[in-house]
Amino acid sequence: MWQSYLNGMLVAFGLIMAIGAQNAFVLAQSLRREHHLPVAALCVVCDALLVAAGVFGLATVLAHNPTLLAVARWGGALFLLWYGAKALRSACSKQSLQHQQGQGQRSRRAVLLSALAVTLLNPHVYLDTVLLIGSLGAQQSVPGAYVAGAASASLVWFSTLAIGAAWLAPWLARPTTWRLLDLMVAVMMFAVAAQLIFN
């Protein structure tokens, strides 16, 4: 059982730590201190559910249904391009973190819906979390322990990212830092969208 748990944790850590659309979104929300803990919790829950779905059968369904993957691919690319353009526009503006906070935070519902979109409209989440992690988990001697290990990795990573970035926010609350952060988010979204379109 513990071997399956550790395998799930190590595989998930290896994939989740790569800076992708989901991590960039959590980082930005955490530095803004805008509902960052609910966003991190939502990402953990989504990852756990997707890994469980992959381990217990969805990976096989997706592998044999190219239409579903194509829909996810193009829908995700369009969403990522839109979100990247939004971040790029913010990077080109003269607003600092304080100015953004002065305009009022978005509602928790709006932020969580954006987090869901970044998570579920990104086809990489299905390729990595469902197909790759799920397929490996289906071969474990104790698949449930593997899912628990992967979920633990997600919990540790997103909690650390959310709490650590929020803690650093006072030292990073300068206009230049925020332009660079928005630019990083934009580049990340465009890069993932390009991979989806041209691969």
Q: What is the pLDDT of residues 7-48, one digit of tens each?
A: 888 878 777 766 677 888 898 888 888 899 999 999 999 999
What's the confidence (pLDDT) of residue 99? Answer: 41
Answer whether 11's CB lies under 8 Å from 152's CB.
no
The residue behind tokens 């526009």 is 89
Whole-angstrom distance, CA of residue 13 vs CA of residue 157: 8
DSSP notation for 99-151: HHHHT-PPPHHHHHHHHHHHHHS-HHIIIIIIIIIHHHHHTSSSHHHHHHHHH
How confident is the model over 157-162, as a mean pLDDT? 92
Contacting residues for 26 by C-beta, under 8 A, at least 6 apart: 36, 39, 40, 43, 115, 158, 161, 162, 165
Q: What is the pTM of this model?
A: 0.69
Whole-angstrom distance, CA of residue 80 vs CA of residue 94: 23
The phi, psi pair for 182, rounded to 5°, reads -65, -40
Whole-angstrom distance, CA of residue 151 vs CA of residue 24: 19
Answer whether 155's CB lies under 8 Å from 37's CB.
no
pLDDT in tens, 90-146: 778 765 444 444 456 789 999 999 999 988 887 777 777 777 777 777 777 888 898
Whole-angstrom distance, CA of residue 1 vs CA of residue 10: 14
Answer whether 82's CB lies under 8 Å from 190's CB.
no
Total count of residues recorded for the chain = 199
Whole-angstrom distance, CA of residue 175 vs CA of residue 152: 35
